[in-house]
Amino acid sequence: MSKILDELLASNKAYADKFGTKRDLQATPIKKFAILTCMDARLDPAKFAGLSEGDAHVIRNAGGRASDDAIRSLLISHKLLGTHEWFVIHHTDCGLEKFSNKDIDEKFNLEPGNSIDWLTFSDNEKSVIEDVLYIKKHPLVPNSILVYGYIYHCKTGKMIEVREATKVGARQI
Amino acid sequence: MSKILDELLASNKAYADKFGTKRDLQATPIKKFAILTCMDARLDPAKFAGLSEGDAHVIRNAGGRASDDAIRSLLISHKLLGTHEWFVIHHTDCGLEKFSNKDIDEKFNLEPGNSIDWLTFSDNEKSVIEDVLYIKKHPLVPNSILVYGYIYHCKTGKMIEVREATKVGARQI
């Protein structure tokens, strides 16, 4: 058995041994919000945003991008489980800002035309605004949903607002 | 300002105030693995799998499904950032098991043919096996990657192996 698997299962056993009243939690998020952020290992949304188990949905992908799959998840989060405030949180030093789609294609020996959209970006603030706008303009997203835009700073742990994104995302309220 | 936003920013300030040596973490995951799991509010992968900041990538969507976007993220996780063990972790009492694609279409007043694949499933174990297989068979995923299949139990906090999935996912090693 791999050392990684060994350690992970030992940690899980310790967690389950002290599970307590968490057994009573329900699927509906207590705080009725969702976070969309990056998979980056340095980010722990529960810690940096103060979440306990049961509080909020957390959606994560490479970049924290508003991909079709993130939209699918957000729509389910709202319509089936009642969230109505969403946070788009990108971060500093993101791999998707350091590489272009072409760079990543080359690493996989993918020819142009036979490629994947890796959702890279060259301007972090703009990428947050773009994602917030894309979410707000999606035909299945109700106007009443508040969408905030933030960048998490990996050197400080601070979430810094992308004002233009939040303005756009929250303008109906 | 919304109460949710207020509370979240206060929690973030408290976190950043004690950030300490986390400022020195790098993008490459220390433990070289990635978790793909559900956005469900009851799940805190860092807690139930014993992760500290910097350890591992965490990818989350509705259901923890191996969507195209999850595959994009896993490929980046491996090729750009060196992970080589991946955990697919679904969970009990998942919304995607309780509803069909048709149920969710109806909630959004979507007509058949103008619908979204919500990636619902009717058998949790099978959905884990399906996702592990889909990942292992993806043309850009190297055979050397270990992929494990688990179900997290919301009443106990325990990760229970889906043996057939892990056997499939780890068979090359």
* Rounded distance between C-alpha atoms, residue A33 and residue A55, angstroms: 8
Contact A22 B157 (CB under 8 A): yes
pLDDT per residue over B27-70, tens digit each?
A: 999 999 999 999 999 999 999 999 999 999 999 999 999 999 99
Range of the domain at A74: 25-170
Number of H helices, E strands in chain B: 7, 5
**B17 assigned to some structural domain:** no
The segments of chain A whose pLDDT lies below 70 read: 1, 171-173
**A59 assigned to some structural domain:** yes
**B10 assigned to some structural domain:** no
**B141 assigned to some structural domain:** yes
Q: What is the pTM of this model?
A: 0.97
Residue B119 confidence (pLDDT) above 50: yes
Contact B39 A69 (CB under 8 A): no
Residues of A whose CB is below 8 A from B75:
108, 116
B171 pLDDT tier (thresholds 50, 70, 90) = low
Nearest to B76 among A19, A27, A62 (CB): A62
| Domain total in chain A | 1
* Rounded distance between C-alpha atoms, residue B56 and residue B32, angstroms: 6
Residue B104 confidence (pLDDT) above 50: yes
Residue B29 near residue A44, CB atoms below 8 Å: no
**A33 assigned to some structural domain:** yes
Residue B172 confidence (pLDDT) above 60: no
What pLDDT is attached to residue A173? Answer: 43
Contact B73 A39 (CB under 8 A): yes
Q: DSSP E strands: which ranges in A13-169?
A: 33-38, 56-61, 85-91, 146-152, 159-161
- The CATH number covering residue B106 comes to 3.40.1050.10
Determine which of A18, A26, A61 to mutate to test the interface with B (most B C-beta atoms within 10 Å).
A61
What pLDDT is attached to residue B112? Answer: 76
**B89 assigned to some structural domain:** yes
What pLDDT is attached to residue B113? Answer: 75
Contacts 24+ apart (CB under 8 A), B164-167: B164/B125, B164/B129, B165/B88, B165/B125, B165/B128, B165/B129, B165/B131, B165/B132, B165/B133, B166/B132
Contact A31 B156 (CB under 8 A): no
Q: Residue ranges of the alpha helices (H) in chain B?
A: 3-17, 45-48, 68-79, 95-98, 101-107, 124-137, 163-170
Mean pLDDT of chain B: 95
**B14 assigned to some structural domain:** no
**A5 assigned to some structural domain:** no
- B73–chain A nearest CA distance, Å: 5
CB of B160 within 8 Å of a chain A CB? The answer is: no
